[in-house]
């Protein structure tokens, strides 16, 4: 707290008791002014903080909604890709199955032909 200097002329006019009361008045006025300013600044800060928190909450809700929509979109895209992959695998499996049946038939025809050949050669 700054020290208040009272001039010689004012000190003579007011006297020591008057000077002390003047200093007390100025000090209490400054203290009251300081408290008023602090109260005002505190209220303004609280209001600003409340506004910023509200904005932050709105931003968080928007980001949450955006994230959810992106997740739904990615989920649908992933399911579509899985369906395509499964269809490709089923096609590949059916082609492999047909190929196996063809080769099994050729093998068994060859085996029957061999057995008939051996039997004919054996009985001749």
Domain map of the chain by residue range?
Answer: 1-95
Mean pLDDT value of segment 29-36: 94
- Residue 23: name the closest of 36, 14, 12 by CA: 14
CA dihedral of 109, 113, 118, 120, whole degrees rounded to 10: 140
* pLDDT one-digit tens code per residue, 78-106: 999 999 999 999 999 999 999 999 999 99
Contact 4, 23 (CB under 8 A): yes
Q: Does residue 67 have a pLDDT over 70? A: yes
pLDDT at 50: 97
- DSSP E strands in 77-119: the ranges are none
CA distance 8 to 15: 10
- Answer whether 0.75 is exceeded by the pTM: no
- How far lies 63's CA from each of 46, 70, 106, in Å? 25, 10, 64
pLDDT at 100: 96
CA distance 8 to 114: 140
Q: What angle do CA 6, 11, 12 make, to 5 degrees?
A: 155
pLDDT at 34: 95
């Amino acid at each position: 707290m700054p020290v208040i200097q009272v001039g010689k002329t004012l000190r003579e006019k007011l006297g020591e008791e008057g000077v002390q009361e003047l200093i007390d008045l100025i000090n209490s006025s400054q203290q009251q002014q300081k408290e008023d300013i602090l109260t005002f600044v505190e209220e303004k800060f609280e209001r600003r903080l409340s506004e910023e928190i509200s904005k932050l909450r709105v931003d968080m809700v928007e980001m949450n909604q955006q994230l959810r929509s992106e997740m739904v979109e990615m989920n649908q895209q992933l399911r579509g890709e899985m369906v395509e992959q499964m269809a490709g695998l089923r096609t590949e499996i059916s082609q492999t199955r047909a190929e196996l049946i063809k080769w099994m038939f050729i093998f068994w025809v060859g085996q029957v032909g061999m057995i008939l050949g051996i039997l004919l050669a054996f009985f001749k």
